[in-house]
Amino acid sequence: MFEAHGGNLAAAAKRLGCNPSQLLDASASLVPFGLPWQARLSALTAAIRPYPDRRHVALGDCLADLHRLPPSVVLPGNGAAELFTWAARDAAEQGLSLLPQPGFADYIRALACWGGGLDALSLPLQWSSPGPSPFPPPVPRATALWITNPHNPTGQLWSRASLEPLLGRCSLVICDEAFLPLVPNGEDQSLIPLVSEHANLVVIRSLTKLYGIAGLRLGYAVAQPERLQRWTQWRDPWPVNAVASAVGQALLRSPERHQAWMQRVQRWTAQEGVWLHRQLAALPGIIPMPSAANYLLIRGEREGKPWSLQPLREALETRHRILLRDCRSFEGLDESWLRIGYQSHRGNRRIIQAMRMELSEPRRHRLDQ
């Protein structure tokens, strides 16, 4: 059984017999920076005795101001995963969902909650540019289409110009933009500006990746008010806890500070991405794919044939306490693929040094056994 999601530190530490703090987790794709001081203070001082605001008015206002939208089109959620569940309920009512593959497994989980059917839309596993690129396969008319931009796990950035026509071919389009704020100039490709004109569009964002707050579970959906009002009636009474809401408000209250943070993150994505891609390309048997996101996909290849990277992944775990993402949970990817989430430069150097050691002779011979 393969992990459907990276970042399971507790299970990995138990398996390896070590403390979670000893692990370098490149199986999850989070920024490596500590939270701004005002957010850390909010987490400590959040009022946790009273019930949270069920409507999350203050947090919703911050999110709406961020995108210069009316609050009625923004809905905070308990991470993007909770919002996928309600998007999947709408999708299941429409009929079959079309899912580009390889793709994020949580969409399948969400559809299964409602007995939603799905068809796969195969993406090519060769590409020459991180993007923005045209969405590649010819998309048939569909009831519901799920798009990830940039795509997970490939890191390809799709152009808004190629996605907009799909709104006329599908009765519902769900666009997951969880990683888009981390991409340099990524906002230029966002579908959020199209929501006011298209009732069949849902855009889902996550603050988890941008701020490195996976444990708080905080995301939001942007869609027309009627759809979000329906979701509000379906969901649990308090989907966002008070601490998450307080931290979210502290992070987003100042659009200027948020913009400065995004610029810092995007510089890191660009700089570390170029450096890591170059270093990986120099390793024997490793082919890194172009990526616009803060992660990249690598393929094992020797003499033109696929080569399993699972022994390498296991060696990095057991001997170096480094976690890479096993990609076998992505439909269409086999044991010759791994995904690496960018770390600090020091962390990325640690990954490269460990991989170089394991791929050198005689250890390389051991990996083949």
In a domain, 248, yes or no: yes
Q: CA–CA separation, 352 vs 350, rounded Å?
A: 6
In a domain, 3, yes or no: no
pLDDT tens digits for range 219-252: 999 999 999 999 999 999 999 999 999 999 999 9
Residues 6+ apart with CB under 8 A from 314: none
The count of other CB atoms within 10 Å of the CB of residue 108 is 18
263 and 302 inside one domain: yes
- Amino acid of residue 160: R
50 and 136 inside one domain: yes
Instruction: Give the pairing type, strands 97-101 and 118-122.
Output: parallel
Distance in angstroms between the alpha carbons of the first and the last residue of the chain: 22
247 and 362 inside one domain: no
In a domain, 115, yes or no: yes
In a domain, 2, yes or no: no
pLDDT tens digits for range 124-145: 999 999 999 999 988 888 899 9
* Strand locations in the chain (E): 24-26, 74-77, 97-101, 118-122, 142-148, 170-176, 201-206, 219-222, 286-288, 295-302, 305-306, 322-326, 337-341
Q: CA–CA separation, 328 vs 349, rounded Å?
A: 25
Residue 158 DSSP class? B
Tell me the average pLDDT across 33-40: 79
* Sole residue written with tokens 């370098």: 24
The per-residue pLDDT of the chain, averaged, comes to 92
191 and 115 inside one domain: yes
Burial-class residue 269 by CB neighbours within 10 Å (0-12, 13-18, 19+).
buried
205 and 296 inside one domain: no
| CATH number of the domain enclosing 304 | 3.90.1150.10
| CATH number of the domain enclosing 109 | 3.40.640.10
204 and 270 inside one domain: no
Dihedral sign computed on CA atoms, order 230, 236, 237, 243: negative
58 and 135 inside one domain: yes
Give the number of domains in the chain: 2
Q: What range defines the domain where residue 332 resides?
A: 9-30+258-367
Q: Which residue has the higher pLDDT, 43 or 285?
A: 285
Q: Of 213, 229, 253, which marks where a domain is finished?
A: 253
State the pLDDT confidence band at 1, using cuts at 50, 70 and 90: very low
